[in-house]
Chains A and B, each alone.
Chain A
Amino acid sequence: MIIGSGKPIKDILAMIEGCTKILIIGCRGCVTVCSAGGEKEVGILASALTMARQQEGKPIEIKEMTLERQCDPEYLEQIRGVVDEYGAVVSIACGAGVQFVAEKYRKIPVFPGINTNFIGVTEEQGVWTERCQACGDCKLHLTGGICPIARCSKSLLNGPCGGSANGKCEVNPEVLCGWQLIYDRLKELGRLDLLEVIIPINDWSTSRDGGPRKIVREDLKL
């Protein structure tokens, strides 16, 4: 899922400086699962902003809503009737959601309340780590199900580099060396032979380097 985390409250206060009425919208998708932008977080942010502004003598009226998702147009229609009453919208969905709201509601400023961090998984409650870089050309079958692009700090396709020590990446002692993980896994699977082959130079045009991407499914279009 997409993992995000809250922006510092002072940054959000700076964005809404001058607004007297705002709408905070959360999302029941990924950001609810990682406790960054769900209904609970909408409530916490609303309470925090209200208190901060009250103390400055600049009270603010805040409406709280949480949509199913902010990345599908049908769900965004749910705020069509109310959005005009507000000076700004603070969306605590991921970057895609924030942008989609801004796209559908062009006359009102839409501010991001969280930082979208990465595509990842829940390692344990409260701990999320990156797994995927959306490179558009998945090679997980060559590396025992562990991604060298996302989990190697240098995205090497023929790693590890000389900085791998005791299974840790030299860049950050808390980061496991992606290539040690790949080696261990392929050893468990009895497929170390896969590592004898040089993985060729990558085609990065399917990733962000190739420009903003689009997928079209003609069979699904109405």
Chain B
Amino acid sequence: MRLSYPTNVKIIRVPCTGKVDVLYLLKTFQSGADGVFVAACMEGDCHYLTGNLRARKRVEYAKKILDAVGIGGERLEMYNMSAADGPRFVKVANEMTERIKTLGPNPVKRFRVTNVQEKPCEEMCP
């Protein structure tokens, strides 16, 4: 459709949102993502019947954990849309980007600790 959406949105494709696990969602934030949205098929249209319903429940659960650890459940959201609905995807991407901009960067990056040790070049590559 050649619609443009914000460049900060990175897409990770899965065969069905039913594959999205709570652990993946958490690890994404752990590695520094500022926000995550799960784009699922419309309820009732899931090719695997209930994958998107399970995804919704897992997203709710992950949001609670994110609240409990201080990241904030608002950084994670689930949206239903048809795979053919390009404009909706763009709208959601924009909405989410605005929301994350307001929330600011992921707090885990606040005290970024670098594990790189200061060593002279010769020692690192003899």
Contacts and interface: CB of A to CB of B under 8 A. Distances in A.
* Chain B interface category by residue count: 10 to 19
Contact of B68 (A9, A56, A57): A9
B82 interface: no
B108 A51 contact: yes
A95 interface: no
Interface in A33-49: 40, 43-44, 47-49
Nearest to B61: A44
A35 to B, nearest CB: 10
B81 interface: no
B65 A40 contact: no
Given A55-B70, A55-B71, A44 B111 contact: no
Contact of B70 (A8, A52, A57): A52
A57 B22 CA distance: 24
A51 B69 contact: yes
Contact of B23 (A9, A47, A52, A57): A47
Contacts of A43: 23
Nearest to B28: A47
B30 A50 contact: yes
Contacts, number: 50
Contacts of A49: 69
B interface: dominant SS? helix
Given A44-B22, A44-B23, A44-B65, A51 B110 contact: no
A44 B108 contact: no
B106 to A, nearest CB: 9
A59 interface: yes
B51 to A, nearest CB: 15
A54 B26 CA distance: 14
Interface string B22-53: 11001101100000000000000000000000
A215 B22 CA distance: 41
A8, A10, A48, A56 — most chain B CB neighbours (10 Å)? A48
Nearest to B64: A9
A47 B110 contact: no
Contacts of B29: 51
Interface of B: 21-23, 26-27, 29-30, 65, 68-71, 107-108, 110-111, 113
24 contacts: A9-B65, A9-B68, A40-B21, A40-B22, A40-B23, A43-B23, A44-B23, A47-B23, A47-B26, A47-B27, A47-B30, A48-B69, A49-B69, A51-B30, A51-B69, A51-B108, A52-B68, A52-B69, A52-B70, A54-B107, A54-B110, A55-B108, A57-B110, A57-B111
The 7 closest A-B pairs by CB, nearest first: A57-B111, A52-B69, A47-B26, A54-B108, A55-B107, A9-B68, A43-B23
